[in-house]
């Protein structure tokens, strides 16, 4: 590591299968218990479209998350990935820096 200590805000967006929504919300409630900075939003205009917001994420943690979410083979997020409707839209993941 090059000593970069920047922290990022990370957004992860995806569509959940309608019939898996309750299971998904239970899964994410556990995820929230283990990750207090996690925020979960559902689109008010498009049911099942969710955005995760992660605050204070390191470069290393972002790269790990990106790999786990985008590379479906052998991912520790397999349970979550099975609830995502990849036919509607793909998982999108972005990181942002805070300038203010």
Question: How far apart, in whole angstroms, are the C-alpha atoms of residue 7 and residue 74?
Answer: 27
The pLDDT assigned to 75 comes to 65
Q: Which tens digits make up the pLDDT trace of 35-49?
A: 998 999 999 999 999
Q: What residue ranges of the chain have pLDDT lower than 50?
A: 1
Report helix, strand or coil for 32. Answer: helix
**φ, ψ for residue 77, nearest 5 deg:** -95, 25
Answer positive or negative: Cα dihedral of 89, 77, 48, 40. negative
The pLDDT assigned to 71 comes to 77
pTM, full prediction = 0.86
The pLDDT assigned to 89 comes to 75
Question: How far apart, in whole angstroms, are the C-alpha atoms of residue 46 and residue 16?
Answer: 11
The pLDDT assigned to 1 comes to 44
């Amino acid at each position: 590591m090059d000593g970069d200590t920047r922290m990022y805000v990370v957004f992860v967006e995806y569509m959940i299968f309608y019939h898996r929504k309750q299971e998904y919300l239970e899964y994410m409630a556990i995820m929230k218990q283990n990750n207090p900075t996690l925020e979960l939003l559902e689109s008010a205009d498009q049911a099942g479209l969710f955005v995760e917001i992660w605050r204070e994420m390191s470069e290393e943690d972002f790269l790990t998350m990106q790999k786990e979410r985008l590379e479906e083979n052998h991912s520790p997020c397999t349970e979550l990935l099975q609830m995502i409707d990849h036919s509607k839209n793909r998982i999108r993941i972005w990181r942002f820096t805070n300038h203010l």
